Amino acid sequence: MSERAWHPSDLALDQGGTEVDAHLAACAACAARAAEAAASHHEFTAQVFPRTVEAVRMRRPRRPFKIGWPAIGVAAAAMAGFILFTQVRRAAPVVEPPRLELASPGRVRIWTGRPRHVAVYLVDDAGHRRRLWPHAGTAQLVNDHDLVSLPAPDPHTVAVVAVVADKPFNPEHPPSDGDVVTLALVERSPPNR
């Protein structure tokens, strides 16, 4: 093999492929590099990953949704204020269909029209959203009229928001083409009449 013979770069080694595999079979030096890479991989998996994964989980970016959560939060807060003002306990859904409806205290009914994938969030009076349902994993396939339980009343919660899509999605990254349905909530008791 001449000095100018081709040897795969680190990037090529990582990318793999038949040409790289063939080279590794014939070049002891590059096979040693590949073995080093495998050892480093093992070191990461066995030692670095367990030691650092929690820090990564805690620091992972929590991005605002592309569909404009601040605007939704402000709108929801304004709606909640209006409802308080008019002493209406139950609010009407903003968008339909699909739509959300307060079925009973602590439960929300989802009207999707057909089986669709849904993730539900709570929005507080500062416009911050928090994932409500499903607690983990991808958005859930729900049927029309399904019910979702709400957590204990929180005085700062002003709205329930659902993202409804035809395809499965990660609730942390809802699709920009999904339907967004907002239900304003008033968890406080209205004044006595």
Partner 1 sequence: MVDQLYRRHGPVIYRRCVKLLRDRAAAEDATQEVFLKLMRHIDGLEEGEGYLPWIYRVATNHCLNRLRDEAWLQTMPPELLADEGVHGAAASLPERELGARLLAAVDEETRAVAVLALVDGLTQEEVASVLGISRKTVGKKLRLFVERAQRFVARAS
Residues that bind partner 1 (CB under 8 A): 3, 7, 9-12, 14-15, 29-30, 32-33, 37, 40-41, 43-45, 48-49, 51-53, 55-57, 59-61, 63, 170, 172-173
Between 59 and 114, CB nearer to partner 1? 59
Report d(CA 23, CA 18) in Å as an integer.
9
Q: Tell the residue number behind the tokens 């929801």, with chain if given.
A: 76
**Of the candidates 126, 113, 125, which has an alpha carbon nearest to the alpha carbon of residue 181?**
113
Report d(CA 1, CA 182) in Å as an integer.
68
CB of 88 vs partner 1, minimal distance in Å:
39
Between 34 and 186, CB nearer to partner 1? 34
- For residue 190, what are the CA distances in angstroms to 75, 84, 108, 117, 159? 21, 7, 20, 34, 17
CB of 63 vs partner 1, minimal distance in Å:
7
Between the two ends of the chain, the Cα-to-Cα distance in Å is: 94
Helix (H) or strand (E) holding 165: strand 157-165
CB of 102 vs partner 1, minimal distance in Å:
31
CB of 127 vs partner 1, minimal distance in Å:
21
Between 14 and 21, CB nearer to partner 1? 14
List helix spans (H) across the chain.
Answer: 10-15, 18-26, 28-43, 49-59, 69-86
CB of 87 vs partner 1, minimal distance in Å:
43
Between 35 and 78, CB nearer to partner 1? 35
Between 55 and 152, CB nearer to partner 1? 55
Written as six digits, the tokens of 142 are: 């729900």
